Every structure is written in C-alpha cells, then in structure tokens.
Structure 1
C-alpha cells in the first residue's frame, strides 16, 4: 500500500524554497561569459543570457544598477558580471541578478593597477615629503596633452580668463593607445630639457580605464617622480584616479580644475589694488576735512569778536593762521604724496616679475657654483687615480722583469720559487721582458750547499 506523504508542496512553495536556498547558499559571485539574447525594454531593465561554449544562464540587471555601466552592452560582447544567484519564481527559471558589469579584461587591469600602486607606494613615490611646491604667480606654464582634445581647450580657456599674464607652452603628446606612455615620457623629458616652465600640467579628458591606462604605466610614474619641475595631474573626471594622480605633486579632478588650481584670479588681484588706492584716497580726504573744519571754527570765532580795537590784531592773527594752515596743509599733503609714492615703490619692488627675476638670478648663481664644485671634484678624483696607477706600477712584477730579472714557471703553470719544486731533467720556462725561454734542469743545488 503506498505511503501517505506527510508534506505536499505547491509549485509556488517549491520555487520559493528553491530561491531561498540558492540566494542563501551563494555569496555575490563573479562570472565571465558572452552576452546573447540581449533585451532592453522601456522599463530600463536589461535582460540577457550569459554563455560560454558549453552552457548559458539567464541574467537580469535592473535599472538602478545598469545606470552605472560605462559602456553599451552588445550581443556577442564578452563581459564580467558580479551577481546574486537566484530563481525566477513565476517560471521556475534559474537566473543571475546582476549588481555590476565590466568589459572582459577590466578586472585584470584593476588588479594590475592595484599591484603597481602598492609597489610604488612602498618605494615612497607617493610620500608627501617628495611633493614639490609651486609658485602662485607662474610666469611660464607647460601643458602636456593632446592638441586635438577637449582638455587643452578647457585649460587654455581657464588660464586666459583667470591669469592672462602667464605664457603657455604646449608639449603635444598622445594620450591614448599603446604608444602613448613613451610619448608622454618624451614630452616630460623635453619640458625638463627646455627648463623654461615654472610648472607642468599633465592632462586629458575622461574615459574608460583602458583609455586612461597610459597614465597608469610605471614608466610614466617614474618619469613624473624624477622630473624636477612641479607637476599637476588633471587626468579624467572627478571620479577617475590614475597612478599619475598619486605620484604627481598635486592632483586636480579635471583639466579645468588643474588650470584653476595653479593660477590666481586676476580680478581678485585688481580688486585688492583698487581697495588700497581707495583707502589712501579716503585717508587724504579725511585729513583735509579735519583741517577745513578747524578753519571754519576759527572764522566763527573771528566773527564773534567785534571790538574795534581788536580788528587789526584779529586780521593779523587771521593772516598768520591762514599762512600756518596753508603750510600745515601743504606739509600734510606732501606727506600723503610721499606715503603714496613709497607705497607705489613697495608695490613695484614686490612685483611678481622682480621676484621671479631674483629667483632666476639665484638659480643661475647656484648652478654656476654647482658646476665649479663638480669640476673640482672630478680633478681631485683624476689626481687620485693617477697616484694609484703610479703606486700599482711600482709594485708590478713586469717592472721587475724589465730590469733583467725573470720568473720561472713549471709546465703545469706554477711559479717555481724553490729548488725543491723541480729536479734534474725537468723542463721549465723562464719568463723574461720580451718572451719566454724553455730550459732544462741540469743540476739542483740548495742555498746552503
């Protein structure tokens, strides 16, 4: 007699239990395969199959997740997905709920990026003590980028708007592709060789990790680190980070931000100068007002004194006071003009052009001193080498042979230094200054015989 089942599941209960087991048994996993049966309905969700040569699995990626994809998925495209294993209860179909998607190979690039970043960080290339400061009033700005991209247009626009006093020197380079990294290194070397720039901007617009990869190459990182000119990195968008950003002396989120970071606003400079001029003018007007008020008070007192016997004295006093007031006003006005002249001279003395020229003179002087010290050091080491050569020649066995002595050598190439090392009949060679003599031992006598 057949047994009565103790528990009977409905289809929906079975599918629900199966879904629970799948989702709780598997963590988020990465799966690589080829897209097929791609569907993009108006809801914004993406449905597709992920397959390889032997199997396939249904996948669903909802709108709030696929908005973060940086490329447009296509049928036949190889991708890597991070997904949750699940089950579509309505049809009982096994499926993957996709959290994120990358083009195949991106994972390897991320791993390569992290390994290089860790290596260079351990070597100290990112250390703050190696970061070079840069002037706030640059005279010459070098830009390393493509001449056809949007980055150079953005940089030139910002520099023209903020600080048109600076000169711009462009070092054209490729910013994408296999030959871009060595091309960037050549541009840095050219800027370093020219030695004309106060600082350099390395820039390009945003893109995928493959597009930005030249700025993650080790040769570029080391070239930036070795460059004595301060370098500002403005690569990609705000969310993009490259090895170039970490090793540069300053990182800016975009090319435009890099241009803003290194320059002051010319309007702010003009505003500060206008404020100084306004303060000086207000000070002068205040002093004149005080003396004018004092003069008016004196006139009032003069009008109040009416006795006839004091009129002449008052006129004389008034004339004297007027002369004194005029003299005082002239003195005050002269003092104010002198203060203005001194202030103007100070402004000229503190001009960025003079400061820059002073620093250039100091650099030239230091370079001359360094050249002199290096030449002296080379001469000293040459003298030491010659002295060592003379000492070496003095103890050389060849010099001894040249004076008429010889060295005896057995047929097995050992130097004969004792009569006990040979016997009658042995063949030996005598090494003299201009060759060898082949000898035969006819007799052996010790030193005491």
Structure 2
C-alpha cells in the first residue's frame, strides 16, 4: 500500500476503527489511581488494574466524567455507598470508548454501580480483619487494662478540625473541675496521607510512653463518606501493637471501621470520647468517695465496738478487781501476822541469847572468879599463866577477892 497518510488521517482511521469495533458501552472494573476535579466541574481520572500483588500495574487508561454527569454520579455514589469517589477505590463503571487525535485513548464514564464498590469495600474489610485474626493480634489493644484515671491524653487529629476543638473544649469545661493533660500529634485524617500520618503519630507517642495514659484518634469535622481511610491494615496493625489503650472517635453513625474494631474503645464522635473520659474520672471519683465513706463508717463502727468492749471489760473487771483486792488484803494481813510473830520469836530468841551471854560474862568476870577462891598473880603488871614465866628473886603481886599481897620468889 503506497498511499501516504497524515498523522491526523491515521488517527481518524484508528478512531473510526475503534468506534466500529467497540460501538457499545461496557461495564468495566478498575481502580482509581488518580482523580482530579477541574474548575469547570469535569472529573478526570486515571484508572488502573493491578496484579495480584496489589503493587505492580497490569494496565492503565485515562477516563473522564463530564460535569453534567459527574454531579449525578458523585451524589448517587456517595449516598448509596457512604463513601466518596477517591484514589485507591475499586469501582464498576459503565464506559464508552473515546479516541482523540491529541489526547489519545480514554474512557468516557456514563454510570457507576455503587453496589460493587460496597461489596469490594466489605470484602477488603473482612480480609483485613481475617488477616489480623490469623496473626493473633486482632484483640490485643482491647485486652490492655484501661487506666483508672485517664488524665494524660495523646490526641491524634487535625489541629484545625472542628471535632478536635469540640473535644478539647468539652474536656476543659467539664462540670466536675477535672484537669486533663493533652498533647496533639497532628496528622491528616483523610486522603492518601492518613495511613502514614497516623502511624508516624503513634510512633512519636510511643517514644514518650511514660507521659501518657492513653491515645485517642478523633476525626472531627470530616465527611461521613471518608470512613474507608480507616479500613487500613497498617493502621490497624500498629494499633494492635500499641502499648497504650487507644480510643477512636472518627464520627461514623452506621458502621465501624477496622480501626474502630481493633481499638480498646470505639465511640461515635470526639465529643463522645470526651464524655467517656469525663465519665471515667467521675466514676473513679465516686468510687474513692464511696471507699472513703466506707472506711469512715467502718472506723466509727470499730471505735464504737471498741468502746463497748472496753466498757464491758470494765464492768466485768470491777467485781473481779474488788475480789482480788480483798483477797490480796487478807493475804497481806496474814503475811503481816506471820512476819510480826516471826520477828517476836526472833527477838525473844536473841533476848534469851543476850541474857545467856550476860550470865556467862558475869560468871567470867574476874571479880566473881576471885570470890570463888581464885587469885590472880602478876609480874610487873602482866598476869602470869605459867610457872615457867617466874624465876628466882622475882617480885610477884597476888590479888585476892578481899585484897592483894606482894611476895618474893625465894626458890623454884
């Protein structure tokens, strides 16, 4: 074939061939890789089909929803699926093949089936939950002991979210005067950065674990259709491994996300989380008051019982003490009598001994001895007891009872 075609002519042949071969509309399953709305209300998408590894791409094509259809499709899908059209979502769409000389091949989206996406989302949720259960981690955070006084709170949220403001205001203005200490770990709560942001926040909290009693994840102020960002395996796994109890308040009235299911507690809104924490503090406060009252009542009862026991013992001891005192007095009197008699006997005995000693002394008195016919002879003033003490010519003095004589020894 020697005919020469211009590029535009070739493009027209390709276009006409495609339209001839594929004249109808087709239902196609694809994943939204990228999605943008422009200023005039048109929606431009990049659709992909991934390999089973969920990473590598098998095919890719551009698609468009013109503004007159996009308003309807967007509203219809969100109302039916409870989810916004967004990156990463798998959808079933009714398309027509489009070919443009400049922009090439694309798909013109005419309709969407929310039921397919709902099923895919539910299947994905179940697959994530099943995987967590198989790994044995599904209930790990729920099994952590909840703090008795949940006063130090690590908050994962967006600083500008109305829900975060409501949460903090509700805690601060609680009617009981409780003081809560909180630190915000700011992160996007919707969109592609939700996963990495929450995981980084959890890591930062874990590095200061001793400063907090628990962590709360509150979404506040976001659309109810953004819940699927929390049907995420990595976020859920991080929560199951987190060393502190995690409470979620991501604001969905109908369904629980995977993040809600693995958390220690799941509540509907940030305000509900604040109410729960205030309630925990109040419950502990009331319990302490009850214990204090119980201790006071028991102490008073013990004091009264002790008083009664003491009074009973006193009443019992009075007659016993009186009887014992009387017995002791009688015993003392008896001992006194015995002691007096013993002393008298002892004194009489000593008196008799003294009398005997006196008589003996009288008998042995030299005067009385001389009266009985004895004499006392002395030499130079010394009483002589033996004859050998005397020698010839000694002058001796001899004393009688009625006088004394002096004599000289003439011989031995």
TM-score range, shorter chain: 0.3 to 0.5
TM-score by length of 1: 0.38
Instruction: Indicate the structure whose relative CO is greater, using CA pairs within 8 Å and at least 6 residues apart.
Output: 2
